[in-house]
Chain A
Amino acid sequence: MSMAGGWWLVRNAECCRRPGVLAAGLTAALPAPAANLLAAVTSPQAAATSPPGNTGHFLLATVYILLIFAGISVGVIVMNWVERKVLAHMQVRLGPMRVGPHGLLQPIADALKLLLKEDLVPQGADHLVFWLAPVVVVVAAFSAFTAIPFGPTAAVSDLNIGVLFVLAVASLGVLGIIFAGWSSNSHYPLLGALRAGAQMVSYEITIGLAVVAVLLHTGTLSMQGIVRAQIDHQQWLLFREPVAFGLFAVAMVAETNRSPFDLPEAESELVAGYHAEYSGFRWSLFMLGEYAGMMLVSAVAVTLWLGGWTRPFPNVHAAGLDALFSFVPAACFLLLAGMALRAAWKMPGHRRWRVQRDGLAVFGSLLLGLGLLLAVPPMRTACQNVFWFVLKVAVFQYLFIWYRATFPRYRYDQLLRIGWRILIPTALANLVLSATLTALRP
């Protein structure tokens, strides 16, 4: 639902952009064929090379929305499991081991548990705002994905104000957190919400300035355009704007309230921070929002600095290199399948482990099937872009976990000092420097 709402926002933004297609925007609510027709008439140049949001293909856009929604949700589930496992291994423990082979079903079990829990609203809480808060967090995190290009055509829409749209919608998340802290009518959530408010607003400035530095090189706000600019430059923007990327990499951790900037939910200080009074499904929405937010900022970083959907060395087209790279997705899945099947094979033969072994074998076979599917030529080319994009985002997710395992937590005042005294001045200086250099460049 949230995604549809987001798409509607996108449509409206489209209308504002091109007064000529205002009519198309207004008829967004019309049945799909009519909208299609109108869109086709008003923008005849739109072909299959554009995302459905731009061609006005309502049905396809809805399918994409659902796909992305499902994809992000699955991503959150996977991330949940991976985080617990990686964190555990960094801390010389095992992590979940009991529900399913190597705890693979643990996130499902947890989700079920959270769904079945009693729906509690604390006495004295503002019911409406308390209800609204997690919804806002989730909607904000998910809606922004409408403008993220997973591939040249694999996106809901390509907005010409894509970056602005993502930043604007994503920053709405802080409202949900403040709502949660305020409406809980409790001290710890209130403190957490105040921290979140100050933190996210401060670090958004850094994010904005870092992004502007990128825009100097691309000359467009469209997410697709930024990736295309990198393809044209034959260079990731990381190498042109390393400082901006560094600033963004720090600020995005703070923006998503992750360690070492996890003050709003610092469990050793504020118990659970802004969601201390939340439980069950509402709480899980916060978690969903947080993890979706992590993926979102990572996706933005990947799009802006790391070449988006392009494979590594996109400008090198040596003989067979394209084909080689196109096999990587399949190879990855086959490798994972091999690991799972090997683990299943090595499991002790005791009957107590039979369910686990069989489960792992089925999971491995599933991966094997996916890998084989990806090896088929048409799928190989179709899924390649999305694969590289997701892989780059996954690297960031790993970094998030790694930070969490290693660093202590900053204090409130130190966090703001870093934001205002170090990051923002550096970002400004970097922007001025970049602008000067860009202007001097022939």
Chain B
Amino acid sequence: MTLRVPERQARGTIRPWAALRERLLRLLPLDLLRGMALTFRRQAPSAVYTEQYPQQRPVVADRFRGAPRLNNDFETGETLCIACNLCALACPEALIVVGAERNAQNRKELTFFTYDLSRCMFCGLCEDVCPTDALELTQDFELASYSREGAIWDRPMLENGPTPKRYEK
């Protein structure tokens, strides 16, 4: 069951000449040289792991939870949001505010939608509860803004998405 870490066997069990040999080998800095050989080998340019970010962009996974987006119907261009308020209720930080009013057919219609990104922890609970897949966390990850207010996204921003500056290689 247990795995004893094989470390420093009792000295007495080692035969004297073996102990002497070990001592003598210890005089040679083989341990240090092995490490140096490793670092030397790693100098090969092919070993470089760095990603030069603004010029080389990371491949973001499909499920990545990034900037929120309010989806519109592809054909009609109308919002998919039915203003059910479930996302606002699910949000642990209560940072989503959904505004709606009843229209002539007594159906709720979305008037405004604010999403405070400065408090968002991208847990994805809002996305999970959305019954119409209107709210979605996208693969955009460049969310910096010059002010705190800039991190509060309104409906046009949520629908159109952020437009960060793109650098090219």
Contact = CB atoms under 8 A, between A and B. Distances in A.
A–B contact (CB under 8 angstroms): yes
A402 B40 contact: yes
Most buried by B among A86, A90, A93, A352: A90
B32 interface: yes
A161 B107 CA distance: 100
Contacts, number: 42
Interface string B150-169: 00000000000000000111
Contact of B48 (A94, A352, A406): A94
B48 A89 contact: yes
Contacts of A92: 42, 47-50
* Consensus secondary structure, chain B interface: loop
Contact of A94 (B44, B52, B169): B52
Given A90-B39, A406-B35, A348 B169 contact: yes
A89 B45 contact: yes
Interface in A89-105: 89-94, 97
B43 interface: yes
Contacts of B36: 402-403, 406
A403 B32 CA distance: 9
Contacts of B40: 90, 402
Given A89-B45, A348-B169, A350-B169, A406 B39 contact: yes
A108 interface: no
A402 B42 CA distance: 12
A90 B36 CA distance: 10
A60 interface: no
A92 B168 CA distance: 23
A295 to B, nearest CB: 21
Interface string A403-416: 10111000000000
Interface in B78-100: none
B168 A402 contact: no
Contacts of A407: 32, 35
A91 B168 contact: no
Contacts of B35: 406-407
A91 B41 CA distance: 10
Interface in B18-49: 32, 35-36, 38-40, 42-45, 47-49
Contacts of B168: 350, 352
A407 B39 CA distance: 10
B32 A406 contact: yes
B47 to A, nearest CB: 5
B160 to A, nearest CB: 27
Contacts of A403: 36
A90 B32 contact: no
B43 A86 contact: yes
Contact of A97 (B47, B52, B167): B52
A89 to B, nearest CB: 4
A122 B45 CA distance: 43
Contacts of B49: 92-93
A89 B42 contact: yes
A74 to B, nearest CB: 24
B77 to A, nearest CB: 37
Contacts of A97: 52
A298 B45 CA distance: 28
Interface in A395-442: 402-403, 405-407
Nearest to A95: B50
A406 B48 CA distance: 17
Contacts of A352: 167-168
Interface in A215-236: none
B34 to A, nearest CB: 10
A89 B41 CA distance: 10
A245 to B, nearest CB: 15
B30 to A, nearest CB: 13
B48 A90 contact: no
Contacts of A350: 168-169
B53 to A, nearest CB: 11
Contacts of B50: 92-94
A230 to B, nearest CB: 27
Contacts of B42: 89-92
A86 B40 CA distance: 10
A264 to B, nearest CB: 22
A409 to B, nearest CB: 13
B57 to A, nearest CB: 15
Nearest to B51: A94
B29 to A, nearest CB: 10
A405 B169 contact: no
Contacts of B32: 406-407
A97 B167 CA distance: 16
Given A348-B169, A352-B168, A407-B32, A402 B39 contact: yes
Given A406-B32, A406-B36, A407-B35, 6 more contacts: A90-B39, A90-B43, A350-B169, A402-B39, A406-B35, A407-B32
14 contacts: A89-B42, A89-B43, A89-B45, A92-B47, A92-B50, A93-B48, A350-B168, A352-B167, A402-B39, A402-B40, A406-B32, A406-B35, A406-B39, A407-B35
